[in-house]
Chains A and B, each alone.
Chain A
Amino acid sequence: MDRYDRQVRLWNTNGQNALSNSSVCFINISSAATETIKNIILPGINSITIIDSQSTIPSNDSLELLKLNNLKSNYFYGINNSHSFEYIAQNIAYNLSNLNPDVKSINVLTDPLQSFISQGDNFWKQFDCVVYSFDAQTDPYIDLLSEILWHLNIPLVKLSSIGFYSYYTVQFNQLNIIETHQNDLVDLRLDSPWDELISYINNIDISHVSNPNEYFKYPYNVILIKLYQDNKQKFGKKLTTKQIRQEIDKLFLTCDESNLLEAYNKAYLLMKNSSELSENIKELFNNIPNELTCDTSLFWILVSSLKKFYDKYNQLPLSGVLPDMESDSEKYKELKEIYRRKFISDKEFIYFESMQLLNSLNRSPSELKDNDHLITLFVKNCKYLKIINGSKHKNLSETVLKQVPNNNNMVLYLAFQILEKFIKLEQRYPNQNDKSNLRTLAVSYLCGEKTLPSFPDGLDKFLDEISRYSGIEIHNISAVIGGITGQEIIKLLTNQYIPVNNSLVFDGISGKTHSFKL
């Protein structure tokens, strides 16, 4: 684990475990795919499978020749090593395999893609993510694959890089992210303390302190809640941050009571309305399935319980996380214990509600009992949970045409669509002489969609540039898109952080990335 020390600090042990239990399949090898593989091998993926049937002996096919040349201008294609490989993917797999001994295997499958597609779910469900690099031979089968993976809810990533341009898209059905890392999990609940905290606070008298030492017993949240509650009773209304600060000012005896200073600085936290739901959570609640069934995932069972909790208490469960605070450590420990107990009891509510739901669905209680860690994470993160609904790959090209007029950033993506059409038609990449051919193709493609009023701005520039590239992959561009794709795949596999949904283009000339949802 020491090998992963620096990254475990980003996604914790559970994220690392998820990664080291994940298998990713790459359909067709390319520079961008190779860079991506490197970037997920290093952090410790379980295994990689590459499906690619091109042999190392160059044929006369122009696409095959181009692919070979592109790979040779790529770091992981060994030219000088003594091994002789029958397939190009084997060469690359060999050079990638010594990057990390923890990776179980890098398999190369050289049968054509269709033979694996015909095996259906059984073959594909072994993977946690599938990454496809555009290739004219295999492209006709990708819609079928997208259908299979959509139903298995396995993400399908598509990436491509040519010249200074590249793109990334991902298809997933739905993501349920518990650890979004949007915020730290501290939840002080200053504006609405619960019974146990109130009675603890009620036993404190900070208005008659004569020895500064006395103050130091109380961390800032106690001081703030105390002042807030006392004054609410006294005046019948809430105090503003400024008023609270004035109250704190009155308490100082020596001017350097560090916990009072902290209270002064944090007084604005009282203005937080802890019963208000974020947009994320509203969306989450709106997406709860109408009917829970045997197949409903544990996540949605837990969310249903979460909603019940909220409906009942007008609050979400407490995270139980307290920050470091200036305080006497005895008092700090007492307080931490109070917050922890509240977290435990809130978690129990979720647990028992969920258990009842499982019972009513005749499901096994072990689903919950064996997943205590997950429930803990769920409750601790419950304010920042997020669901993301994806869209199907199959429909993307229609969507892009509908959306392009409203979104300039998509024009580059549209150019890629036209490029891929060209390659499938001509069985070669466009070159300098194809500028007009590409434009003609673009017009006929766009005419198929009646809603498009005119030729999108900038499309001709992209197409001209693409024809200049003659299909060349630039390593630098592949390195960047391979870094981005690796990062996105890690988000998907660890189910942490919020991934791009669902497309991104990278223009290496302007140095800009844009993402959009198709």
Chain B
Amino acid sequence: MAVDSYIKKMFGEKSSQFADAKVLLVGAGGIGCELLKDLIMMNIGEIHVLDLDTIDLSNLNRQFLFRHKDIKQSKSKTAIAAVEFFNYKSKLYAYHGSVLDTNLFPLSFFKQFNIIYNALDNLEARFYMNRMCLYLNIPLYESGTTGLKGQVQPIYPYLTECFSCVPKETPKTFPVCTIRSTPSKPVHCITWAKDFLFSQLFSNEDTNTQEIDASEFTNEEEAEASKKEVNELADLKKIIANEGDNEIVIKIFEKIFIADIERLLKIEELWKSREKPSFEQIKDYDHFFKDINKEYLTTCKDQSTLEEILKTFASSLLRLTDRFKNNENIEFDKDDEDTLFFVMSASNIRSLIFNIPTKNEFDVKQIAGNIIPAVATTNAIMAGFSALSSVNYFLENDNINRVVKSKMVFDSSSTDKVVNSSKLIKPNPSCSACSIVKGIITIDLSSTTLGQLRDKLIEKYNYGDDVEIMTLDSRLLYDFDLEDNLEEKLTNFINDQTVLLINDSDEKFDLIELYVLNSQNSEIILPELNIPLKKIKPSENENDENDDDDKLLVDNEENNDIKVTVSLDDDDDLVEEQPPMKKRKF
């Protein structure tokens, strides 16, 4: 009995569309496991599964392809091995790696797929996949869940809203000075312990990357104190690496919880409208550090007594030190007990000093791990909708009809529906991703100069005078002030698989994005593009040049709302003039 019996019966000759398709599933977690099963049951020809993660105990409540014995194994590989017993027809391929890694997954990798299914857990990878699909014009089925909530969004590039069209709520961040000098809530102390203390002590990354920006502090003294802290921590890191006895605990404790706080206390400005930190609650610390060892107290998760807090700090610190000395690359992981306990106890000590309520393991884990509640049922529902919605792709012949048939699905708060669905909406004309014309450029980076590229661009796209060339992270490579760069080879600025932004110095044409493919001995091959005229920015006349710089900066930060703004009045006209579907040829 063949698996696809129903596909044939239901869809007749169209069933071959399923069997001929090649799809990519990005993420083999909660939604991914379900989706893999659903896609196999649709008899899809080839399913490629990509995930960078390994399996944790806390995945097993929903990721049904994994068992206890699979913990620490690759998700994508285990998922594919797990479905083997089933008599499926799909060809399956697993990739263990980050989707952001262009060495593993260059643009050409994505190009082979008919559909891409996102089953991701983070915004960065979602934005990235969205962009890849825009470059390649591949339909993207985006999905996500949080607890009992979830949504599925089919994205047909340039025809429907893309993932960036609606600004996403980004995780809350705190001012640097609140974290470093004046915490007032438990979350401030946890953020400090995790993002500052832990990464300074155990991260292998160069500490210089954490350069402090003095402007983020309210006063110079404070910035100075902070800088000192960082430098001294670097010293402590050396102690951790080279020494090894229990002295470490005392040294580190007295540095971060006594000396650093005393330094803050001297900055009177800080405490004018705040309660001062105090050592009152931790003054007996040396008593608890007399006999310390690497075994955690059985009650250490409660964090209700000073003993539990301090001994957990000591034990986790020593254990992490051992691991650090074994050259292990330690990163904070909520499921790695030593790292979690260290962050928990350190944040609680800080809380005691700043007179803030302490938190137990359950709470710290949630805050530090950005834990999102997750359950099998919601994942099953949303994965089901994602797969189901993509059936339209196989049944319809062109994207216009696919768009008409496809639905966006999201959880409903009212009890008379479990989910809501809505038609797909046209793209946001000022979207930071899909409103910008995109193309792929093939070029030999080692033999071509920036000047040659500039000339080609001006010639090909009929720019009136000159262009500005930038990277995606808004590094300016060329404008009329940077003529020196023109003689330099492109390898000095960019790599294969990066993105260049080209702006018209005359402000006549709109910004464009070019994806760079490096190809030795190749001529410069520029894509055919219909570059629209610059959208009119009503306030622009009054703005000076500095404002333009700001604008460009913001343009390139995908997380931000889009700043190529169009006033509401002009909006309709623009839609008329420039249909949302911006065709791109290459």
Q: Interface residues, chain A, CB within 8 Å of chain B?
A: 2-7, 9-10, 35, 38-39, 42-44, 69-70, 72-75, 78-81, 98-101, 163, 212-213, 215-216, 253-254, 256-258, 324, 326, 328-330, 332-333, 469-470, 472-477, 479-480, 482-484, 486-487, 490, 497-501, 504, 508, 510-516
Contacts and interface: CB of A to CB of B under 8 A. Distances in A.
Interface string B370-381: 011111111111
Interface string B177-197: 000000011100000000000
Contacts of A477: 384, 388
Contact of B184 (A258, A472, A473): A258
Given A35-B380, A216-B275, A482-B380, 16 more contacts: A3-B60, A39-B377, A39-B380, A42-B64, A213-B272, A213-B273, A257-B273, A328-B355, A474-B6, A479-B38, A484-B381, A500-B415, A504-B418, A512-B421, A515-B415, A515-B418
B86 interface: yes
Contacts of A474: 6, 10
B1 interface: yes
Nearest to A325: B185
Smallest CB-CB A-B distances: 5 pairs? A483-B380, A483-B381, A480-B384, A212-B273, A475-B41
B417 interface: yes
B222 to A, nearest CB: 14
A160 to B, nearest CB: 16
Interface residues of B, number: 66
A223 to B, nearest CB: 14
Contacts of A511: 385, 388-389, 407, 409, 421
B375 A69 contact: no
A513 B417 contact: yes
Interface in B8-60: 9-10, 34, 37-38, 40-42, 57-58, 60
Contacts of B391: 476
A42 B62 contact: yes
A511 B141 CA distance: 15
A480 B385 contact: yes
Contacts of A69: 1, 5
B422 to A, nearest CB: 9
Interface of B: 1, 3-6, 9-10, 34, 37-38, 40-42, 57-58, 60-62, 64, 67-68, 85-87, 147-148, 184-186, 271-275, 355-357, 365-366, 371-385, 387-389, 391, 407, 409, 415-419, 421
A213 B275 contact: yes
B64 A215 contact: no
B560 to A, nearest CB: 24
8 contacts: A39-B377, A163-B10, A213-B272, A476-B41, A476-B42, A487-B378, A512-B417, A515-B416
B569 to A, nearest CB: 32
B387 A479 contact: yes
Nearest to B407: A511
Contacts of B356: 329
A501 B373 contact: no
Given A212-B272, A216-B274, A513-B418, A72 B407 contact: no
Contacts of B85: 78, 80-81
Given A42-B376, A512-B421, A483 B273 contact: no
A495 to B, nearest CB: 15
A517 B355 CA distance: 53
Contacts of A504: 418
A10 B375 contact: yes
A506 to B, nearest CB: 8
A500 B382 CA distance: 18
A364 to B, nearest CB: 34
Contacts of B184: 258, 326
Contacts of B38: 475-476, 479
A440 to B, nearest CB: 25
Nearest to B276: A213
Given A80-B87, A100-B60, A479-B383, A508 B388 contact: yes
A446 B61 CA distance: 46
Contacts, number: 199
Contacts of A99: 64
A73 B375 contact: no
A483 B377 contact: yes
Among A75, A486, A512: residue with most chain B CB under 10 A: A75
A2 B58 contact: yes
A75 B418 contact: no
B148 A487 contact: yes
A42 B61 contact: yes
Contact of A6 (B42, B68, B371, B418): B371
B381 A480 contact: yes
B437 to A, nearest CB: 32
Contacts of B407: 510-512
A479 B67 CA distance: 21
Task: Summarize A's interface: helix, strand, loop or mixed.
Answer: mixed
A42 B64 CA distance: 7
Contact of A75 (B37, B384, B388): B37
Contacts of B62: 6-7, 42-43
Given A2-B58, A213-B274, A512-B421, A487 B6 contact: no
Most A Cβ at <10 Å: residue of B4, B61, B379, B415? B61
Contact of B377 (A75, A81, A329, A490): A490
A192 to B, nearest CB: 27
Nearest to A217: B275
Contact of A473 (B6, B355, B380): B6
B355 A330 contact: yes
B415 A501 contact: yes
B58 A324 contact: no
A498 B415 contact: yes
B388 A486 contact: no
B380 A486 contact: yes
A70 B184 CA distance: 59
Nearest to A5: B58
Contacts of A213: 271-275
A469 B185 CA distance: 59
A469 B5 CA distance: 12
B148 A10 contact: yes
B152 to A, nearest CB: 9
A273 to B, nearest CB: 24
Given A9-B371, A329-B355, A476-B388, A98 B67 contact: yes
Nearest to A254: B273
Nearest to B5: A73
A238 B186 CA distance: 35
A76 to B, nearest CB: 9
A6 B186 CA distance: 21
Given A212-B273, A487-B378, A501-B415, A472 B10 contact: yes
A482 B64 CA distance: 14
A412 to B, nearest CB: 14
A475 B209 CA distance: 50
A508 B407 CA distance: 11
Given A69-B5, A476-B391, A38 B409 contact: no
A272 to B, nearest CB: 21
A480 B388 contact: yes
A215 to B, nearest CB: 7
Contacts of B365: 5
Contacts of B357: 329, 332-333
Contacts of B379: 483
Contacts of A328: 275, 355
B264 to A, nearest CB: 16
Contact of B61 (A3, A70, A480): A3
A324 B186 contact: yes
Contacts of A70: 6
Contact of B387 (A7, A326, A476): A476
Contacts of B10: 163, 469, 472, 474
Given A216-B273, A476-B387, A73 B381 contact: no
B417 A515 contact: yes
Nearest to A215: B273
A486 B275 contact: no
